A and B are shown apart, each in its own frame.
Chain A
Amino acid sequence: MNAAASSALLAVLIAAPVTGALIAFLLPVRLRATAGILTAAATTAATAATAWRVAADGAHRHALGGWGAPLGIDLYADGLSCVFLLMTGIVGLFVSVYAKPFFAQPEENKGATELFWPLWLILWASLNGMFLSADLFNLYVMLEVMGLSAVALAVLSGRPPALVAGLRYLLAAIAGSMAYLMGVAMIYGAVSALDLQIVAAGIEQGRSFRVAFSLILVGLLVKTAVFPLHFWLPGAHSTAQAPVSAILSALVVKASFYLILRLWVDVFDGSVTVAAGQALGALGAAAIIWGSYQALRQRRLKLMVAHSTVGQIGYMFLLFPLITVVYQDVAEAPWLAHAWTGGVYQAIAHGFAKAAMFLAVGVFAMAVGSDDRDSTVGLVGQLPMTTFALALAGVSLIGLPPSGGFVAKWMLLKAAFTSGQWWWAPVILLGSFLTAGYVFMVLRQAFAPTSHKIKLKPVPRTMEVTALVLGAAAIIIGFRAEEFLLLLDVEAAFQEPVEPHRANDR
Chain B
Amino acid sequence: MTLLDQVFDIVVCLLLLVLAWRTLSATHLYQSAIFFIAFGLTMALAWVRLAAPDVALAEAAIGAGLLGVLLVDSLRVFARPPETGRDSEPNKPESRDNDVTTSRRRPQFNSAVASVTAGAGCLFLAYVLVAAIHDLPDGGGLTAQAAENLSRSGVEHPVTAVLLNFRGFDTWLEVGVLFLAMLGIFCAGGLVGFSETENPDPPGPLLSWLIRGLAPVMILTAAYLLWLGKLAPGGAFQAGILLAAVGILLRLAGIPLMDRVPRTVIKLGLTFGFGTFLVFGIIALLADKAFLEYPSEWAGEVILLVEAAAAISIGFTAFAFFAYLNSRDQSTGNGDTAGQPRETNPSQ
Chain A contacts to B: CB under 8 angstroms: 8, 11-12, 14-15, 18-19, 22, 25-26, 28-29, 62-67, 70-73, 110-112, 114-115, 118-119, 122, 129, 137-138, 141-142, 144-145, 148-149, 151-153, 155-160, 163-164, 166, 182, 186, 188-193, 202, 204, 206-209, 211-212
Whether A62 touches B135, Cβ cut-off 8 Å, given contacts A70-B145, A160-B88, is no
A141's nearest neighbour on chain B, judged by CB, is B173
10 nearest CB pairs, A to B: A158-B190, A192-B139, A111-B190, A11-B291, A66-B293, A211-B132, A208-B132, A152-B184, A208-B135, A190-B136
Cα distance A207–B174 when bound, in Å? 33
Whether A141 touches B177, Cβ cut-off 8 Å, given contacts A111-B187, A192-B141, is yes
Q: A64, B169: Cβ atoms under 8 Å?
A: yes
Cα distance A98–B192 when bound, in Å? 28
Task: Pick the interface stretch among B42-50, B238-246, B271-279.
Answer: B271-279
Contacts of A72 in B (CB 8 A): 166-167
Nearest Cβ in chain A — how far from B263, in angstroms?
10
Whether A190 touches B293, Cβ cut-off 8 Å, given contacts A65-B168, A115-B183, A160-B89, is no
Cα distance A188–B141 when bound, in Å? 7
* Between-chain CB contacts (< 8 Å), 24 pairs: A11-B281, A11-B290, A25-B271, A63-B290, A65-B167, A71-B142, A71-B146, A115-B183, A137-B167, A141-B170, A148-B177, A156-B190, A158-B187, A158-B189, A158-B191, A159-B190, A160-B88, A163-B88, A163-B191, A190-B138, A191-B139, A192-B139, A192-B141, A211-B131
Whether A73 touches B170, Cβ cut-off 8 Å, given contacts A12-B285, A26-B268, is yes
Whether A65 touches B169, Cβ cut-off 8 Å, given contacts A22-B274, A208-B131, is yes
Q: Report the interface size for chain B: residues with CB under 8 A from the other chain.
A: 59
Q: A15, B282: Cβ atoms under 8 Å?
A: yes
Contacts of A209 in B (CB 8 A): 136
Considering residues A25, A119, A182, which has the most beta carbons from chain B within 10 angstroms of its beta carbon?
A25
What secondary structure prevails in chain B residues at the interface with A?
helix
Cα distance A203–B115 when bound, in Å? 37
Contacts of A118 in B (CB 8 A): 183
Q: B188, A206: Cβ atoms under 8 Å?
A: no
Whether A151 touches B184, Cβ cut-off 8 Å, given contacts A15-B278, A66-B293, is yes
Cα distance A204–B136 when bound, in Å? 10
Q: Does B212 contact A (CB under 8 A)?
A: no
Q: Does B140 contact A (CB under 8 A)?
A: yes
Contacts of B149 in A (CB 8 A): 67, 71
Nearest Cβ in chain A — how far from B332, in angstroms?
14
Q: Which of A14, A141, A158 contacts B188 (CB 8 A)?
A: A158
B267's nearest neighbour on chain A, judged by CB, is A26
Q: A62, B290: Cβ atoms under 8 Å?
A: yes
**A-B interface contact total, Cβ < 8 Å:** 184
Q: Does B13 contact A (CB under 8 A)?
A: no
Q: B168, A26: Cβ atoms under 8 Å?
A: no
Q: A119, B290: Cβ atoms under 8 Å?
A: no
Cα distance A67–B148 when bound, in Å? 12
Q: Does B17 contact A (CB under 8 A)?
A: no
Chain B contacts to A: CB under 8 angstroms: 87-91, 128-129, 131-133, 135-142, 145-146, 149, 165-170, 173-174, 176-177, 180-181, 183-184, 186-191, 267-268, 271, 274-275, 278, 281-282, 285, 288-294, 347-348
Q: B292, A65: Cβ atoms under 8 Å?
A: yes
Nearest Cβ in chain A — how far from B156, in angstroms?
17
Cα distance A63–B348 when bound, in Å? 37
Q: A70, B274: Cβ atoms under 8 Å?
A: no
Considering residues B131, B133, B165, which has the most beta carbons from chain A within 10 angstroms of its beta carbon?
B133
Q: A115, B347: Cβ atoms under 8 Å?
A: yes
Cα distance A114–B190 when bound, in Å? 12
Nearest Cβ in chain B — how far from A96, in angstroms?
18
Whether A148 touches B190, Cβ cut-off 8 Å, given contacts A11-B291, A67-B149, A211-B128, is no
Q: A19, B282: Cβ atoms under 8 Å?
A: yes
Nearest Cβ in chain B — how far from A104, in angstroms?
16
Contacts of A71 in B (CB 8 A): 142, 145-146, 149, 166
Contacts of A159 in B (CB 8 A): 190
Q: B88, A112: Cβ atoms under 8 Å?
A: no
Q: Which of B90, B187, B274 contacts A156 (CB 8 A)?
A: B187
Contacts of B186 in A (CB 8 A): 112, 115
Contacts of A164 in B (CB 8 A): 90-91
Cα distance A202–B88 when bound, in Å? 52
Contacts of B267 in A (CB 8 A): 25-26
Contacts of B180 in A (CB 8 A): 119, 122, 145, 148-149, 152
Contacts of A204 in B (CB 8 A): 137
Cα distance A70–B146 when bound, in Å? 10
Cα distance A11–B173 when bound, in Å? 13
Cα distance A208–B129 when bound, in Å? 8
Nearest Cβ in chain A — how far from B92, in angstroms?
11
Q: B136, A73: Cβ atoms under 8 Å?
A: no
Cα distance A66–B284 when bound, in Å? 10
Contacts of B292 in A (CB 8 A): 64-65
Whether A207 touches B291, Cβ cut-off 8 Å, given contacts A115-B347, A192-B141, is no
